[in-house]
């Protein structure tokens, strides 16, 4: 359904996977990869957004590299420059919010694992982002929750050992204190990466379906419903 495109990124050029909705235009969603990189699973997520009426763009934060094993993925994450990743995510958001077909000016961001933390950082950095969704990811290091623009939706796994409920609760309180509209859901019994259907050892179909339906409803509420007639 999608294609590889190039877009401007703070004086550089970045590439990414863009999936357009059938109608040609729709609210834009930046999709941020897990630590594996821009792999077929992330492209499939973009395709699923497009099928739901959104224009979805996943920037290639590793610039052509992907990982198949945790050790490889860990090395790629460690080598990822935060400022460059932020620029690439911002470039993707600008590509969508500029009103160029097939997107329109309403933009959201969704990230998975490490991408979830990057999604929240992007929402704090780019005013064009009206809604942010994190799947089992928290920002690493210092994070100014008061700078987050728009609404936030969080999906967290009850059996995930990469964070604690206290950490998520602290983030939720900080976001609310900064004025953000926050919605957090816990999926008891689910493990980290429960949404990734290419990993049968952790994929939780019921939790994934529920999280997906909540994500679509969230973006339709805050970015506009692609199925609704134009005003």
**Does 45 fall in a domain?**
yes
**Does 71 fall in a domain?**
yes
Number of domains in the chain: 1
pLDDT of residue 1: 73
**Does 231 fall in a domain?**
no
**Does 230 fall in a domain?**
no
**Does 210 fall in a domain?**
yes
**Does 133 fall in a domain?**
yes
**Does 165 fall in a domain?**
yes
Q: Judge whether 17 and 3 are in contact, CB under 8 Å.
A: yes
> DSSP code of 95?
H
Largest CA distance in the chain: 50
Question: What is the per-residue pLDDT across 136-184, written as a single tens digit (0 to 9) for each?
Answer: 999 988 899 999 978 999 999 999 999 999 999 999 999 999 999 999 9
Cα separation of 42 and 34, whole Å?
8
**Does 229 fall in a domain?**
no
Residue 178 phi, psi dihedral angles, 5° rounding: -80, -5
What's the CATH code of the domain at 104? 3.40.50.1820
Catalytic residue list: 113, 160, 192
Question: What is the per-residue pLDDT across 87-130, written as a single tens digit (0 to 9) for each?
Answer: 999 999 988 887 655 555 679 999 999 999 999 999 999 888 99
Question: What is the per-residue pLDDT across 187-218, written as a single tens digit (0 to 9) for each?
Answer: 999 999 999 999 999 999 999 999 999 999 99
Domain of residue 140 covers 3-223
- Closest to 136 (Cα-Cα) out of 190, 79, 180: 190
């Amino acid at each position: 359904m999608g294609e590889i495109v190039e877009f401007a990124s703070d004086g550089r050029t970045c590439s990414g996977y863009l999936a357009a909705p059938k109608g040609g235009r729709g609210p834009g969603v930046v999709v941020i990869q897990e630590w594996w990189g821009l792999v077929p699973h992330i492209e499939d997520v973009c395709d699923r957004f497009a099928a739901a009426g959104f224009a979805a763009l996943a920037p290639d934060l590793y610039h052509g590299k992907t990982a198949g094993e945790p050790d490889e993925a860990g090395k790629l994450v460690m080598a990822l420059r935060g400022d460059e990743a932020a620029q690439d995510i911002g470039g993707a958001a600008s590509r969508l919010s500029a009103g160029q077909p097939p997107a329109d000016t309403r933009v959201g961001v969704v990230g998975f694992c490490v991408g979830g933390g990057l999604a929240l950082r992007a929402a704090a950095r780019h005013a064009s982002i009206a809604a942010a969704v994190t799947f089992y990811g928290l920002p690493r290091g210092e994070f100014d929750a008061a700078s987050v623009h728009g609404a936030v939706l969080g999906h967290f796994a009850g059996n995930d050992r990469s964070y604690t409920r206290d950490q998520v609760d602290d983030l939720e309180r900080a976001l609310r204190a900064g004025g953000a509209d926050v919605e957090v859901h816990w999926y008891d019994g689910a493990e980290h990466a429960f949404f990734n259907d290419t990993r049968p050892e952790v994929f939780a179909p019921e939790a994934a379906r529920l999280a997906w339906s909540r994500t679509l409803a969230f973006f339709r509420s805050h970015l506009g419903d692609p199925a609704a007639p134009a005003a």
